[in-house]
Amino acid sequence: MAAIKAPPVDHNAALEFLLNRRSSHQLMGPGPGDEELALMLQVALRTPDFGHLHPYRFLAARGDGLERLGLAMQRAAKAAGKPEKIVARAPGMPQRAPLVIVVVATPRSDKIVPESDQLLCAACTVLMLQLAARSLGYGGIWRSGWMMYDQGFHRELGLVEREQIVGFLYLGTPAAADEEAPQPANPFDYLSWI
Ligand SMILES: Cc1cc2nc3c(=O)[nH]c(=O)nc-3n(C[C@H](O)[C@H](O)[C@H](O)COP(=O)(O)O)c2cc1C
């Protein structure tokens, strides 16, 4: 049987893109517009997905939504008894980017696909979104933090039982040039053969 090859891509450009990927900690406007967001979501929907269950959903905030998200974080911080410093800082957290996407895993019982597979799938959509944004010229950073695991914050966002947040993806225009991507001296240090 003839070998089946993946569709042709510009391998050098794709590899260079992946090898030099960086996160952007400092972000400013503009962030991705609706058409760009649609493309990014299309890319996210191409995440490897056992059973095509699409075990995720995305909550996006920009403009006033960032304010609402920050206030939800603050209410959750208060309810969780966090130190005053964290409560005071909460409203400003989402303001660090013009677009914040909260990625929610929505695992369900399935005879074939374990919930952990579904969680991993949802987590991979964060990276797919980040890579798609970067390919459109935007910077981003995948953040977590205590809110990710806080039931009160989950309720603030309307998450239902079993849903989990797998990341806060902050997106916008990088405010600083990328630092050079660190390359491991020997990538084989991370590999052993079975
Ligand atoms: C699940 C997950 C959670 C993360 N949470 C944070 C975070 O809360 N704050 C942060 O500064 N970086 C966080 N990071 C790391 C950044 O996204 C980023 O990878 C790191 O700053 C290294 O930069 P680089 O991607 O350019 O190598 C997280 C990464 C992952 C995968």
Summarised one tens digit per residue, pLDDT across range 132-186 is 999 999 999 999 999 999 999 999 999 999 999 999 999 999 999 998 888 878 9
Does residue 78 line the site of ligand 1, with CB under 6 A? no
Say which CATH architecture domain 58-174 belongs to.
3-Layer(aba) Sandwich (3.40)
Residue 6 has pLDDT above 70, yes or no: no
pLDDT for the residue 11: 78
Q: Which has the higher per-residue pLDDT, 84 or 3?
A: 84
Nearest CA to ligand 1 atom 23: 23
pLDDT for the residue 119: 98
Residue 5 has pLDDT above 80, yes or no: no
Does residue 20 line the site of ligand 1, with CB under 6 A? no
Residue 49 has pLDDT above 90, yes or no: yes
Q: How many whole angstroms from 166 Cα to the centroid of ligand 1?
A: 12
Q: How many whole angstroms from 23 Cα to the centroid of ligand 1?
A: 8
Q: How many whole angstroms from 143 Cα to the centroid of ligand 1?
A: 6
pLDDT tens string 52-62: 999 999 999 99
Does residue 152 line the site of ligand 1, with CB under 6 A? no
DSSP one-letter string for the chain: -PPP-PPP--HHHHHHHHHT----SSEES----HHHHHHHHHHHTTS--GGG---EEEEEE-THHHHHHHHHHHHHHHHTT--HHHHHHGGGGGGGSSEEEEEEE-----SSS-HHHHHHHHHHHHHHHHHHHHHTT-EEEEE--GGGG-HHHHHHTTPPTT-EEEEEEEEEEESSPPPPPP--S-GGGG----
pLDDT for the residue 3: 67
Q: How many whole angstroms from 5 Cα to the centroid of ligand 1?
A: 34
Q: Which of 5-19, 20-34, 37-51, 93-107 shows the lowest per-residue confidence on average (mean pLDDT)?
A: 5-19
pLDDT for the residue 127: 98
